[in-house]
Amino acid sequence: QKEVEQNSGPLSVPEGAIASLNCTYSDRGSQSFFWYRQYSGKSPELIMFIYSNGDKEDGRFTAQLNKASQYVSLLIRDSQPSDSATYLCALSGSARQLTFGSGTQLTVLP
């Protein structure tokens, strides 16, 4: 099992819909969780981080963490075409560095 698993997609949603991106992980000792957005040809940009079980909201973004089930998700409300990008899940666990997933490609259709 990969340390961090993401559905590579592509995930397509219509404009205005809720996009749901999921990430599962294997290291139960993982403590910090991050979501990065990466536009094509650009570098990853940090958009959310979450440390505790539950939901964390920031504007149109909500991160959800469930440590018992070992998953973290990112919800994007009122999706816009400008949200079309690859979303990377990252976490810190027993490894000394962040571990990144391979990313989910999201396309928001106008």
Partner 1 sequence: ETGVTQTPRHLVMGMTNKKSLKCEQHLGHNAMYWYKQSAKKPLELMFVYNFKEQTENNSVPSRFSPECPNSSHLFLHLHTLQPEDSALYLCASSQGTGKDEQYFGPGTRLTVT
**Binding window for partner 1 (CB under 8 A); candidates: 10-18, 26-34, 57-65, 68-76:** 26-34
User: For residues 36-65, b (16+ Cβ closer than 10 Å) or e, as one string?
Assistant: bbeeeeeebeebbebeeeeeeeeeebbbbb
Single residue of 88, 104, 106, 108 touching partner 1 by CB under 8 A: 88
Backbone angles phi, psi at 17, to 5 degrees: -80, 175
54 binds partner 1 (CB under 8 A): no
Bridging pattern class, strands 54-58 and 71-76: unpaired
**Identity of the residue, 4 or 79, whose beta carbon is nearer to partner 1 in the bound complex:** 4
109 part of the interface to partner 1, by CB under 8 A? no
Q: How far is the CB of 95 from partner 1 (least distance, A)?
A: 8
- The CA distance from 71 to 104, in Å, is 15
**79 binds partner 1 per the rule CB under 8 A:** no
**Residues 20 and 73 sit within 8 Å (Cβ to Cβ):** yes
**Encoded tokens for 19:** 């996009």
Residue 31 touching partner 1 (CB under 8 A): yes
Shortest CB 76 distance to partner 1, Å: 19
Question: Which residues of the chain form contacts with partner 1 (CB under 8 A)?
Answer: 31-32, 34, 36, 41-46, 49, 88, 90, 92, 96-98, 100-103
